C-alpha cells in the first residue's frame, strides 16, 4: 500500500509499479504493448487492465490510445526503470545468499515495491561487499543455515 502521498514526488502503489514494470518489458520485447498483452502477462481480465491503464494515463505515467495500445511517458519510464533496477539488484543479492530460486522470485516481487531508498542503498552496498569478499559471503550463508540457539 502507498504511504502518505508526499507533496513533492508522486507516490505509486505496488500495483501501479507492477503494471509499469510489465509494460516496459512487453515494449522492450515486442516493440509495443496492448491491453491484451498486459492482461496475459499479469493473468487478469482486459477490463481490469483497461481501468488501471486509464488511471495511469490520468496520472501522467502512461499514454493510452484505445486502438494503438500504450507507451510509457518520461515519468512512467522513470518508475519502471527504478523497479527493474531494484528487481535485478535484489535478485542478485538473494542469489549471493543462495536463497532458493522460487523464493527469490516471490520475495523480490514484494520487496522491490516496499523498501525505502536508504534500505535499498544499504543492500546495494552489502551486495557489492559480499561480491568482493567471498569468505564473508560463505560465513553469512553458514550462519543463516545454522540451527538457532534461542
Ligand atoms: Zn519485479
Whether pLDDT at 65 is above 80: yes
- Tell me how far apart the alpha carbons of residues 106 and 115 are, in angstroms, rounded to a whole number: 15
Same fold, 14-78 and 81-145: no
CB atoms within 10 A of CB 62: 25
* Interval between CA 13 and ligand 1 midpoint (Å): 13
Percent of the chain surpassing pLDDT 90: 83
What mean pLDDT do residues 62-79 have?
93
Which of 36-45, 116-125, 141-150 shows the lowest mean pLDDT across its residues?
Answer: 141-150
* Interval between CA 87 and ligand 1 midpoint (Å): 5
What mean pLDDT do residues 71-87 have?
96
- Tell me how far apart the alpha carbons of residues 127 and 96 are, in angstroms, rounded to a whole number: 8
Q: Does domain 14-78 have CATH number 1.10.10.10?
A: yes
> Looking at residue 6, what is its pLDDT?
38
* Interval between CA 17 and ligand 1 midpoint (Å): 9
* Interval between CA 65 and ligand 1 midpoint (Å): 25
pLDDT-derived band at 10, boundaries 50, 70, 90:
low
* Interval between CA 110 and ligand 1 midpoint (Å): 8
- Tell me how far apart the alpha carbons of residues 18 and 49 are, in angstroms, rounded to a whole number: 12
* Interval between CA 148 and ligand 1 midpoint (Å): 32
CATH pick for 81-145 out of 2.40.110.10, 1.10.60.10, 1.10.2020.10, 3.40.50.720: 1.10.60.10
> Looking at residue 148, what is its pLDDT?
78
For the chain, what are the domain ranges? 14-78, 81-145
Whether pLDDT at 3 is above 50: no
Amino acid at each position: 500500500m502507498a504511504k502518505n502521498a508526499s507533496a513533492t514526488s508522486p507516490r505509486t502503489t505496488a500495483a501501479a509499479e507492477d503494471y509499469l514494470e510489465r509494460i516496459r518489458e512487453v515494449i522492450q520485447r515486442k516493440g509495443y504493448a496492448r491491453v491484451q498483452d498486459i492482461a496475459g502477462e499479469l493473468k487478469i481480465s482486459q477490463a481490469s487492465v483497461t481501468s488501471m491503464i486509464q488511471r495511469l494515463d490520468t496520472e501522467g505515467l502512461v499514454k493510452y490510445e484505445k486502438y494503438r495500445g500504450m507507451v510509457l511517458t518520461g515519468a512512467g519510464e522513470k518508475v519502471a526503470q527504478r523497479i527493474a533496477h531494484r528487481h535485478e539488484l535484489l535478485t542478485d543479492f538473494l542469489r549471493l545468499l543462495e536463497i532458493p530460486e522460487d523464493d527469490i522470485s516471490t520475495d523480490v516481487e514484494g520487496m522491490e515495491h516496499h523498501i525505502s531508498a536508504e534500505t535499498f542503498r544499504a543492500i546495494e552496498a552489502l551486495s557489492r561487499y559480499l561480491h568482493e569478499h567471498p569468505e564473508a559471503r560463505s560465513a553469512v550463508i553458514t550462519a543463516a543455515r545454522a540451527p538457532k540457539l534461542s
